[in-house]
Amino acid sequence: MRKPTRLQAVIIGLALVAAGAAAVAVVPRLDLAPEYHKDGEGPLGAFDGYGESFDANVGGPTWTVGMRICKLRADQSVVLDGSVRGASVFGDDFQYLGAVVREFTPSDTITPVYGMDGFPPAASFNTHPAKGYTVTTVCRPENPNAPYTELMLGFGRGPLGVGGGWQGTEVGYNAGPRHHVVTLNYQFFVCGSAAWDGVDLCR
């Protein structure tokens, strides 16, 4: 068999380069946008929800609220990215102070925190930073004694006494290669002189 001429070799090389470029062109683009979902429709959820409010003129000036979080399947990897925000925000005369996490098994002496004065929680709560925390508890709403992961949020009063808060809470996390944001049915308000349509916690 004869060797290809120099011109033939150049043509073959260009054809291979073009084929490689075409192959690259058809590789699907990875969608890096976060996936937003409701409770029960993604890897992280709560199967829970409630409202908690504080009087801007009584107690404080900071408060802690707790919200249950859990993963839907035992074989899933769920890691919090540290982002927490209100799904709907009312007013701006309050402060969001951050989030920490603790895990425990409920008992007569260890119970969930729905709302308490002060943030961050005392060392006895054995909390961890929310960012990078791996959620290990699986959702078992039918078992009140199942291991419990509590995301604890801090709020503070604003300077004007007007108040504000969140209706619904969004929590960001990673499950495998995908970033997610779940909206949970938790409402938190620092109640002052203002009132908002559809918000019953400050009436």
Is the distance from CB of 85 to CB of 139 less than 8 angstroms?
Answer: no
Q: Are 85 and 180 in contact (CB under 8 A)?
A: no
pLDDT band at 26 (very low <50, low <70, confident <90, very high): very low
pLDDT value for 14 = 46
pLDDT tens digits, residue range 95-151? Answer: 999 999 999 999 999 999 999 999 999 999 999 999 999 999 999 878 888 999 999
- Domain presence at residue 54: yes
Length of the chain (residues): 203
- Looking only at the bridges linking them, the beta strands covering 49-55 and 178-191 are parallel
Residue 198: inside a domain, yes or no?
Answer: no
- Report how many domains make up the chain: 1
Residue 100: count of CB within 10 angstroms of its CB: 21
Task: Using pLDDT thresholds of 50, 70 and 90, give the confidence band for residue 2.
Answer: low
In a domain, residue 26? The reply is no
Tell the residue number behind the tokens 């895990």, with chain if given: 103
Domain with 134 in it: 35-191
Would 29 be classed as within a structural domain? no
Using H for helix, E for strand and C for coil, what is the string for 108-141?
CCCCCCCCEECCCCCHHHCCEECCCCEECCECCC
Domain membership of residue 197 (yes or no) is no
Both tokens assigned to 31: 């969608």
Geometric angle at alpha carbon 108, from 106 and 109, rounded to 5°:
85
- Identify each DSSP E strand in 2-61 by its residue range: 35-38, 44-45, 49-55
Q: Are 174 and 180 in contact (CB under 8 A)?
A: yes
Query: Measured between alpha carbons, how far is 147 from 133 in angstroms, rounded to an integer?
Result: 16
| 28 inside domain | no
Over residues 53-73, the mean pLDDT reads 92
In Å, how far are 15, 16, 76 from 5, measured between CA atoms?
A: 15, 17, 58
Q: Residue 15: pLDDT above 90?
A: no
Residue 200 lies in a domain: no
pLDDT of amino acid 170:
98
The answer to whether residue 165 scores a pLDDT higher than 70 is yes
DSSP 31: -
